[in-house]
Amino acid sequence: MTAALVAGLVAGYGIAIPVGAVGTHLVALTARTSLKTGFAAALGVATADGVYALVAVLGGAAIAGVITPIAGALRLVSAGILVVLAARGAVLALRSHRDVTERPVPPLTPGRAYAGFLGITLVNPATVVYFAALVVGGRAGTAVPVLDQGVFVLAALAASASWQVLLAGGGALLGRVLTGPCGRLVTALVSSAVITALAVRLVLA
């Protein structure tokens, strides 16, 4: 069970730590909204990682075999969603900056943040292929007890959640530093540009 715990933690941090477009969006969202909303979004990302860890444990190579042929299409969908999010973030930031005294933009609720980040993380095919490769490689033809499988999934979920929450906390600190309207506008526009660049790189990869 200890080995499954360690393997799950390593797998969870392995998929979570590389900060890509979703991580960048998470930091920027928390900087513009609140720590509560950021934590909800972080848990959405972690939930998706946990779901894919569970899918990999249950399906293994079969799931990877289904995902791999359509990975290119899913990658395009993921990139398209990220570009839309980047554009929407920039537009809302500009609108909020211009109408700050007249018509402030309604804040994103934690529930919507959770659902949104869960969705954009679930369309990433690399996550399920990553977990499937780890699970299939780790089995090496031997049967894995159900308890160990459960520990692996929960450890991966906990590792991902702890890292995403850390990113959200960084976004909250950034938001406190950039408290003025101009600072938040610059943060949103830079974030949108970075997310767009990462989405383009995702398509070209």
| pLDDT digits 0-9 by tens, 145-196 | 778 888 888 998 999 999 999 989 988 887 766 555 666 667 667 767 776 7
What is the pLDDT of the chain when averaged over all its residues? Answer: 75
Q: How confident is the model at residue 122 (pLDDT cuts 50, 70, 90)?
A: confident
The residue with tokens 């499988």 is: 149
Q: Which residues of 182-192 are buried (b: 16+ CB within 10 A; e: fewer)?
A: eebbebbbebb
What percentage of residues in the chain have a pLDDT greater than 90? 15
Q: Give the pLDDT confidence score for residue 135 in this predicted structure.
A: 61
Calpha distance 110→180 (Å, rounded): 23
pLDDT band at 200 (very low <50, low <70, confident <90, very high): confident
Closest CA to 29 of 98, 76, 90, 83: 90
Beta carbons of 199 and 120 less than 8 angstroms apart:
no
Q: For residue 176, give the H/E element and its range.
A: helix 146-177
Contacts of 102 (CB under 8 A, 6+ apart): none
Model pTM? 0.68
